[in-house]
Amino acid sequence: MADAHTSSPTRPSKLRRRLLWGGGAVALVAILALTPPLLNVSRLQRRISTSISASLGRSVRMESVQLHLLPTPGFTLNYLVVNEDPAFGNEPTIRADEVDAQLRVSSLWRRQVEFSRVRFVNPSVNLVRNADGRWNLEDILMHAANVDAAPTSQKTPGEHPRFPYIEATGARVNFKLGEEKLPFSLNEADFALWLPSPQQWQVRLVAKPLRTDENVGGTGIMRLEGALERASTLGEVPVNLKASWHDAPLGEASRLLTGEDANWRGTLHLDVNVTGHLNNATLKTQLTLDELRRADFVPAQMLDVTMNCATGINIPELLLTHSACTMPDGDTHPLVLTSEATDLRQLENAPLNIDDDQMQMGTLFNWLRLFSQRIPVASPAGTVSLHFDRPAKTRLWDGTATVTLPHASGDAAGEPAALLFHATRNTSSADDPACVNSLVLAPTSVRLDTDSSVLLSGQITACGYRLRANGTASRTVFDSATASLPILEDTLAPLVPEAGSPSAVDITCARPWGAAQSCALNKPAATAHKPATHKR
């Protein structure tokens, strides 16, 4: 009796398990038996190619298709190629060794092939702009805009097929101008595209920028996220995009952009917002440089820079209009850069205006410390006003810089000195493009103390400087000047007056950038002597 009571509870359990296994087997057989004939893989390969071609408006080919039921029903497309429009070259627009397409099983009973998710594994994408200014993705976007699709997250099938969630992992994005492949690309890119509503696409991209002709190290992370809406033409597509480029070391960033290390160090952060239509959008950017410094030395005080810009932009044409950038300098008079029109393909020809009504000398000295270790930590009092214009398609600047210095010797009645620099063409270095632009210091009388006054003049270019001081000064005045600017001390000490009362000085100091300064006494101008006349 005891054995009968202990064994009786296990019989229903074993029976239930057998029924479950049997029911599962019957269900599996029923699924396989009821699956439509569309599961003929060779026929599906043609249908899948036709479906993708119809969605993109480009011919598509693949080597083979494999059906899988686990973990979810779908297909693996091997070596998928989206062919290029001949107007943009012969290299495929998209090439992927493998594409995983998850199937919406319910679509098979409606004799359709509808996917819930399409994942590209390590694809290569070519973004091309041809000689006519057209992009190779224009036709694909416009074709997709004219294809009716239901939102990606729609649960039940409707009149139109549901747009799949498209993603790519480990992608490489190349940029081309016609047949020429540019040295810039995006590597290890993760991409996602889906349709949250019938009229809007949502896009997300995370990638590492790369330069193919240089061994560039870590260059930070680029991100893009936002929405694009349907329109009849590419230029009319409404966009709301946010992009960023963060944590880029300045040395590697300069090598990425120019192919050369600009010998600056620090960290770059860039944030970008684009709103409006593609051919008439508003672009706002914020550039931040943390701990900006030279590569060859670390100054006592590193520089943190923030620049905010706003401009109109025509993205398909790569044109900027009405650009304005401001860079705060710690007071209410920020540096302002403006430009009416800029072609991003020819930045060197863009017009540019620079204005700052009252930059503090402390801000100027913060920048000077990036170029020399001998600029003192303490900055002199005074202000700098900048007003420069560079017309389009020229390297020449026009404008003035005014340096206003308060009295230096405690002479309360003394007037501030105003040093006026004006831009001109440096004819003596016309063969060197770097030295064409020259800042000439107009001869300016500077009262150094009650008994000392000198006439300052000179010239500054991208190649170096030459400054002249002519007048009356004492040794005390020179000691005070070199204490404020130690860079003036090079070879200057032997030429200044001895201690005592002020005496006449006429000294010229010159320095090519990157070399030592040299100073010399100017020789008095020779005077013509009339021949002696003798009276008879």
Give the closest residue to 133 by CA, choosing from 314, 4, 1: 314
Structure tokens, 207: 């990638």
pLDDT at site 323: 92
pLDDT at site 491: 65
Chunked into runs of 10 residues, the chain (536 residues) has average pLDDT values of 49 64 57 49 75 81 83 86 90 92 70 79 92 85 80 82 88 91 92 91 94 86 94 90 95 90 92 96 96 84 89 92 85 78 84 88 82 75 87 83 68 64 76 78 79 84 87 78 65 69 84 82 62 47
The amino acid sitting at 164 is: P
Structure tokens, 66: 């494999």
Per the CB < 8 A criterion, the answer to whether 360 and 330 are in contact is: yes
CA distances 418 to 233, 325, 479, Å, are 56, 27, 22
pLDDT at site 285: 96
Residue 487 DSSP one-character state:
G
Give the closest residue to 95 by CA, choosing from 111, 77, 107: 77
pLDDT at site 32: 46
Q: Please give the Cα distance from 99 to 427 (Å, whole number).
A: 63
pLDDT at site 412: 43
pLDDT at site 308: 94
Per the CB < 8 A criterion, the answer to whether 463 and 432 are in contact is: yes
Determine if residue 244 is left, alpha or beta; phi over 0 gives left, psi from -120 to 50 gives alpha, anything else beta: beta
Residue 267 CB contacts under 8 Å (≥ 6 apart), including other chains = 247, 248, 249, 250, 289, 290, 291
Q: Please give the Cα distance from 405 to 379 (Å, whole number).
A: 12
